[in-house]
Amino acid sequence: MADEKKKDAPKQDAKAPAAGGKAPAGGKAPAGGKAPIVGGKAGAAAPAAAPAAAPGAAPAAPVPEKKAKPSARFTGSAKAARRKMRKKKSQIQARRKKEFTYRGYTMEELLKLPFAEIIELLPARARRTYIRGLNSEQESFVRRLRASEKPVRTHRREIPILPEFVGKTVHVYNGHEFSPVDIKAEMIGHYLGEFALTRKSVRHSGLGVGATRSSKFMPLK
């Protein structure tokens, strides 16, 4: 009987899987509750399927897209790029030309005012000139300037500019020649002589021979 049991033992061991060996093919799990080997690796579980949406449930909210940040590739850093973008937005694209006013009056309003009110707007020295009255030469110049559309020559440098003179050209004598002066709105209240200079700026090209004692020893070029 003992010999028969010894003969039957190796047959049973051959059917059982060896320790550390592979599981039998066919997808069936061996006895003992162990999971089958997937992909040739022990202990790896199959991926779980995604849960199906329940019927009648609300659709999932869309994922908000991320805002693209300013590129810092060419600007140095993201902070510098944002600063540059803010500065560009704050810049004024087009500047309006500021309308000229004199003592709160526009040019059209000044031309409509009577002569007495215009005098009151001038500076003290110019106002005093017109209050005391112009001499015959000054009156002759003002009369010619009002009547003529062409440039008018004059030696009267001390006449204050009035709003009615704007837009005209006066050739003012500067002691050497008649200098053309185009009268603009910003010149109101100033004198004609202020815009026809009697002196020129001196420009020295270099030290002349004989000008100083040291220049006597300079070689001539």
Whether residue 178 lies inside any domain: the answer is yes
Question: 52: exposed, middle or buried (C-beta count within 10 Å: 0-12, 13-18, 19+)?
Answer: exposed
Instruction: Using a cut of 0.85, tell me whether the model's pTM lies above it.
Output: no
Q: Which of 101, 133, 130, 99 is nearest to 117 (CA)?
A: 130
Domain carrying residue 189: 101-195
Beta bridge partners of 219: none
Q: Exposure pattern of 111-144 as b/e (b: 16+ CB <10 Å)?
A: eeeeeeebbebbeeebbebbeeeeeeebeebbee
Element (H, E) at 105: strand 105-106
Whether residue 156 lies inside any domain: the answer is yes
Q: Which of 160, 188, 156 is nearest to 173 (CA)?
A: 156
Whether residue 132 lies inside any domain: the answer is yes
Residue-by-residue pLDDT tens, the chain, 221 positions: 455 555 555 444 444 444 444 544 444 444 455 544 544 444 445 555 555 555 665 666 666 666 655 554 454 688 888 888 888 777 755 566 788 999 999 999 999 999 999 999 999 999 999 999 999 999 999 999 999 999 999 999 999 999 999 999 999 999 999 999 999 999 999 999 999 999 988 877 666 666 677 666 666 55
Q: Which residue has the tokens 């006449």?
A: 159
Give the integer Cα–Cα distance in Å for 94 and 81. Answer: 24
Cα-based angle 152, 156, 158 (whole degrees, multiple of 5): 125
Whether residue 190 lies inside any domain: the answer is yes
CATH number for position 177: 3.30.860.10
- Amino acid at position 48, single letter: A
- The count of structural domains within the chain is 1
Whether residue 115 lies inside any domain: the answer is yes
